[in-house]
Amino acid sequence: MRVVICGAGQVGYGIAERLAAEQHDVSVIDTQVQLVHAVRDTLDVRAIVGNGAHPDVLAEAGAEGADMIVAVTLNDEVNMIACQVAHSLFSVPTKIARIRSPAYREAHWSDLFSNENLPIDVIISPEVEVGEMVVRRLGLPGADDIVRFADDKVAVIGVECRQDCPVVDTPLDQLSELFPDLEAVVVGIFRNGVLRVPHSEDFMLAGDLVYVVANAEHVRRTLSVFGHEEQEAKRVVIAGGGNIGFYVASALEKRGARTRVKVIEPVRERAIAIAEDLRSTIVLNGSALNREILREADIEETDTLVAVTNDDKINLLACVMAKRLGAKRTMTLVNDPSFGGLTPRLDIDAVVNPRAVTVSRVLQHVRRGRIRAVYSIGNGEAEVLEAEALETSPLVGRPLRDLDLPEGIRIGAIYRGGKVLMPKGGLMVQAKDRVILYAAAERVRAVEQMFRVSLEFF
């Protein structure tokens, strides 16, 4: 697949890195020379200095004959015009744009993004995606990661096995005997820096990060089985009142009076603006690195501090200070992957990676076959995919126990007619079922083939 990416920042670089690793033909455009040089020096892609909205620059990047354009610069208008030019002059089939401003995303302007007006097929907003991730993590603080599939009926959660985890050293095939009515399946284990698909005789060790596919109604019980009884955060302090911080505060307000929220925003004008738009949230003007401001926010009584400023270093330091001043838990936004390994040593409880969230959205449209949703795990080491089974799929009509799935692929759940079915040996996949699978990165192509329309279908 030939892909043109406009924007070489954290998001654009992450998308280029992943697609290049999969041997796609990738071109990256950016106006900043240093970013282009960084791409040239580290990735096997074409990198061009220029404005991605300009026809000559798109032509140089290979827009003629491209399968997709992904416009993720920091400027909404540049992204929109890049998609328009790619459509009008180069007939690029799939156009994805990063749109940050809420003004463009209001429901009553939805007709703006159509082939008759602005031909953008997919709008991604990392701020909204990350905000949703933060809200989900606040609701389930025992989960290291949580994503929903199949109309929100299936959840994929990452759970840390601590020393007191009740199921440590228990073979996986015994879990179903111990908890026969628990609708959850372990599909991946991250241990000593390696992510792998376990076998039924494998067991979990303290320190493992385990990925589980579960019926969404069984998520809390699943966390309890793994020894995580943490309660939903009721007192939340948000460091950073930008788009993400504001989104999270607004979403928490919609829950009602059960969550008390305070926002710390350093820019006075921004603090005043969001204070006028938020109903019950208290907004403090100041730095999240100021002890007096943190104390004014009652940090010692806070269940979770969420650090979502635009500066990773401020986020990390704010979490460290908050913990020392009495906050029970901390969650931080980390854009730079080189900082990710520091968080356990700094006693930070949860990390949200905006790049991973955005890359997953783009991969959903790169994947071939009837792939409905994708979530990338780790640094692209594995994916969870939701795919629709066709009549010609090799999975259809055979008991799961008889399927000769390649090593590195595990079925986590099947969604049929509004019901979640867990993968038992005698269960058979039917046409139009939505199958949630966990696949190692090198097996994703095999999953695509399983769910592609074959010539026999016609």
Q: How do residues 17-37 score in pLDDT, each as one tens digit?
A: 989 988 899 999 999 999 999
State percent of the chain over pLDDT 90. 59
* Residue 120 shares a structural domain with residue 137: no
Domain boundary, last residue among 329, 351, 373: 351
* Residue 95 shares a structural domain with residue 119: yes
Which residues pair with residue 171 across a beta bridge? 203
Q: Which of 348, 311, 307 has its CA nearest to residue 328?
A: 348
Residue with more model confidence, 214 or 358: 214
Q: How do residues 219-249 score in pLDDT, each as one tens digit?
A: 999 999 999 988 888 999 999 999 999 999 9
Tokens coding 370 = 């009837």
* Residue 116 shares a structural domain with residue 135: no
Q: How many CB atoms lie within 10 A of CB 441?
A: 19
Tokens coding 93 = 């089939």
pLDDT, residue 118, reads 87
Residue 4: partners with Cβ closer than 8 Å, 6 or more residues away: 26, 27, 29, 52, 58, 61, 62, 63, 66, 68, 69, 70, 86, 92
Q: How do residues 66-120 score in pLDDT, each as one tens digit?
A: 999 999 999 999 999 999 999 999 999 999 999 988 888 777 777 788 777 889 9
Tokens coding 236 = 């939340």
pLDDT at 364 over 90: no
Q: Which of 305, 268, 273 has its CA nearest to residue 288?
A: 305
Tokens coding 52 = 């991605």
Cα-based distances in Å from 174 to 59, 171, 201, 203, 399: 58, 5, 9, 9, 21
Q: Band of the pLDDT at 257, cuts 50, 70, 90?
A: low
Q: E strand or H helix at 215, and its extent?
A: strand 209-215
User: Is residue 230 in some structural domain?
Assistant: no
Q: Band of the pLDDT at 151, cuts 50, 70, 90?
A: very high
User: Is residue 340 in some structural domain?
Assistant: yes
Average confidence score pLDDT of the chain = 90
**Residues 8 and 46: beta-carbon distance below 8 Å:** no
Domain boundary, last residue among 193, 225, 257: 225
* Residue 298 shares a structural domain with residue 278: yes
Q: Give residue 294's domain range.
A: 235-351
Domain boundary, last residue among 225, 256, 279: 225
> In terms of C-beta density within 10 A (0-12 exposed, 13-18 middle, 19 or more buried), how is residue 23 classed?
exposed
Distance CA 249, CA 408 (A): 40
Task: Dihedral sign for Cα 97, 103, 108, 109, please.
Answer: negative
pLDDT, residue 268, reads 96
* Residue 362 shares a structural domain with residue 332: no
Q: Band of the pLDDT at 454, cuts 50, 70, 90?
A: low
Tokens coding 197 = 């698909």
* Residue 339 shares a structural domain with residue 449: no
**Residues 305 and 322: beta-carbon distance below 8 Å:** yes
* Residue 293 shares a structural domain with residue 399: no
pLDDT, residue 458, reads 30
Q: At what angle do helices 354-366 and 10-21 cross, to 10 degrees?
A: 50
pLDDT, residue 456, reads 42
Q: How do residues 377-386 score in pLDDT, each as one tens digit?
A: 877 788 999 9
Q: E strand or H helix at 253, and its extent?
A: helix 243-254
**Residues 244 and 154: beta-carbon distance below 8 Å:** no
User: Is residue 428 in some structural domain?
Assistant: yes
User: Is residue 184 in some structural domain?
Assistant: yes
User: What is the count of structural domains for the chain?
Assistant: 4
Distance CA 403, CA 400 (A): 5
Q: What is the CA radius of gyration of the chain?
A: 23
Domain with residue 375: its CATH number is 3.30.70.1450
For residue 308, give the 3-state DSSP assignment.
coil
pLDDT, residue 180, reads 87
139 CB-side CA count, 13 A = 15
Which parts of 256-366 are beta strand (E)? Answer: 260-265, 282-285, 304-307, 329-333, 350-352
Q: Band of the pLDDT at 399, cuts 50, 70, 90?
A: very high
Tokens coding 440 = 């190692």
Q: Band of the pLDDT at 457, cuts 50, 70, 90?
A: very low
Distance CA 296, CA 284 (A): 8
Tokens coding 433 = 């079922």
* Residue 17 shares a structural domain with residue 120: yes
pLDDT, residue 340, reads 66
User: Is residue 166 in some structural domain?
Assistant: yes
* Residue 239 shares a structural domain with residue 271: yes
Tokens coding 384 = 């969870």
Q: Mean of the pLDDT values across residues 402-414?
A: 91
Helix ranges restricted to H, 158-227: 172-178, 219-225
Domain with residue 105: its CATH number is 3.40.50.720
Distance CA 11, CA 366 (A): 16
Distance CA 184, CA 228 (A): 15
* Residue 250 shares a structural domain with residue 334: yes
pLDDT at 55 over 70: yes
Which residues pair with residue 331 across a beta bridge? 306, 350
* Residue 32 shares a structural domain with residue 143: no
* Residue 205 shares a structural domain with residue 299: no
pLDDT at 455 over 50: no
Tokens coding 146 = 């949580």
